[in-house]
Amino acid sequence: MKPFVMFIICMLCFFSCTKKVGPTTVQVEDSIRHYYPLVLGDNLDVVYKVTNTGVSPLVITDIQPSCGCIIGDNKNERIILPRRSQYLHFVFYTGKNIGYVHHTIRIFGNVIPQGMIALIFDLNVVPPSENTPDYEEIYKEKAESERSISSSIKEKVDGNGSEKGYYVHSVDESDSFSTN
């Protein structure tokens, strides 16, 4: 009798633990970005806000940047519950790029219709000048000095929402990836 009871308990446990996650829809805030020029050797922090707009949890199965110079934060959660948002953090290292740079970060998961989200950004990487400072270097130094002098504690903690550090297409053009 005991083997039969154990068999039934094992079968119930085996079949009761299977739940399939259905497809979901996702919206990304500013999925296509155009960053301002950077000086060779600087790093760019790229943060995307991903919102699960569907009824099933979003399960991210893989994250594939188009270049080895883009490193994802290992703390990125791989599951986003319905009606919740998650910030995906990446760092772009400009040390081996010069000129116009266009990259795509592909997020794979249970997203309809394609099973993938494309996060796209581009910028120009300029070499540092040897003699006279370049306008990017002057702008960077001036922005850093102004930020350190005139910033309030709240702006240092929360940041200034109107200064994203990038720009997107006009409202007429598609500036956000949506699978609705």
User: Which residues form the domain of 121?
Assistant: 20-127
| Rounded mean pLDDT for each run of 10 residues along the chain, 180 residues in total | 65 63 90 92 92 92 91 80 92 89 94 91 88 74 72 58 68 51
Amino acid symbol at 86 = Q
The length of the chain in residues reads 180
Whole-number pLDDT of residue 109: 92
CATH code for position 56: 2.60.40.10
Whole-number pLDDT of residue 175: 47
Whole-number pLDDT of residue 180: 47
Model pTM above 0.85: no
Task: State whether 91 and 147 are in the same domain.
Answer: no
Between CA 146 and CA 178 the distance in angstroms is: 37
Task: State whether 31 and 110 are in the same domain.
Answer: yes
Q: Which two tokens stand for residue 131?
A: 């003699």
Beta bridge partners, 88, equal 48
Task: State whether 91 and 112 are in the same domain.
Answer: yes
Distances (CA, A) of 116 to 21, 36, 52: 16, 27, 13
Whole-number pLDDT of residue 164: 64
| Residue 134 counted as domain residue | yes
| Residue 179 counted as domain residue | no
Task: State whether 47 and 71 are in the same domain.
Answer: yes
Instruction: State how far Cα 48 lies from the chain centre.
Output: 3
Instruction: Provide the domain count of the chain.
Output: 2
Q: Which of 46, 55, 62, 69 is nearest to 23 (CA)?
A: 55
Contact (Cβ atoms closer than 8 angstroms) between residue 92 and residue 46: yes
| Residue 11 counted as domain residue | no
